[in-house]
């Protein structure tokens, strides 16, 4: 009788950990299985030359929500403002500015009331044509090709997009909960054997 009660406690503990961890770890899977689809952002390409267009589709916004802002980060550059349709879907095409620093950036769609931020990585390559762009300190920087045919630009650095501490914290919490659930099960097994 006592063993049965201990197993019930262990199973309840593991189930609690799974219920809390599942939304953090498997949110994409859950959205794929149950309608309506959750928020998502898709880009026409994950690599684009500066000065070229990129198309996007964002879902999960409120019906007819406006404005939904498209922007490029590390340094915020607003690319346009859009309105969601009746299903909360936003579609559009924006031009990446010619003087965008080459490297890995974050493309964002965001809106307020209700708040929603969607992110996707976007690698920006130097423009195909030579472009004179002012540097951060006011000097001109020249993007173009060197004699070997390689792209060069902005001192060879990648763009600084920062890190997303929130996602790291959520992942850590999910792992911690899974460890707690597993530890409870192990303790119950040892107790049963003794």
**Residues 24-73: tens digit of each pLDDT:** 555 555 444 555 568 999 999 999 999 999 999 999 999 999 999 999 99
Q: Could you please report the per-residue DSSP string of the chain?
A: -HHHHHHHHHHHHHHHHHHHHHHHHSHHHHHHHSSSP--EEEES-SEEETT-EEEEEEE-PPTT---EEEEEETTTEEEEEE---TTS-EEEEEE--TTPPSEEEEEEEEETTTTEEEEEEEEEEPPSS-EEEE-TTS-EEEEEE-TTS-EE-GGGPPP-----HHHHHHHHHHHHHHHHHHHHHHHHHHHHH-
Of 91, 74, 72, nearest to 82 by C-alpha is 91
Q: Give pLDDT tens digits for 28-39.
A: 554 445 555 689
pLDDT of residue 75: 86
Q: Look at residue 177 in the predicted model and tell me its pLDDT.
A: 57
Query: For 6-15, how does the pLDDT look when each residue is reduced to its tens digit (9 = 90+)?
Result: 656 555 665 5
Calculate the average pLDDT of the chain: 73
In this predicted structure, the answer to whether residue 190 has a pLDDT above a threshold of 50 is: yes
Nearest to 122 by CA among 148, 97, 155: 97
| Most trustworthy range by pLDDT among 119-123, 172-176, 190-194 | 119-123
Can you give the pTM of this predicted structure? 0.54
Both tokens of residue 131? 């472009």
């Amino acid at each position: 009788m006592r063993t049965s009660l201990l197993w019930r406690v262990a199973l309840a503990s593991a189930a609690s950990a799974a219920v809390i961890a599942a939304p953090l770890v498997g949110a994409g899977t859950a959205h794929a299985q149950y309608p309506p689809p959750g928020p998502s952002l898709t880009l026409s390409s994950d690599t684009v030359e500066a000065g070229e267009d990129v198309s996007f589709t964002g879902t999960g916004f409120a019906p007819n929500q406006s404005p939904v802002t498209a922007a490029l980060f590390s340094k915020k550059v607003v690319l346009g403002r859009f309105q969601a349709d009746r299903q909360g879907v936003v579609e559009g095409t924006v031009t990446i500015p010619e003087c965008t620093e080459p490297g890995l950036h974050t493309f964002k769609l965001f809106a307020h009331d209700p708040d929603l931020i969607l992110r996707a990585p976007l690698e920006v390559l130097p423009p195909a044509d030579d472009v004179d762009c002012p540097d951060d300190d006011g000097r001109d920087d020249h993007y173009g090709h060197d004699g070997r045919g390689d792209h060069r630009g902005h001192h060879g650095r990648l763009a600084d997009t920062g890190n997303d501490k929130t996602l790291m914290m959520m992942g850590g919490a999910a792992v911690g909960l899974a460890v707690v659930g597993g530890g409870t099960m192990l303790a119950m097994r040892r107790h049963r054997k003794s």
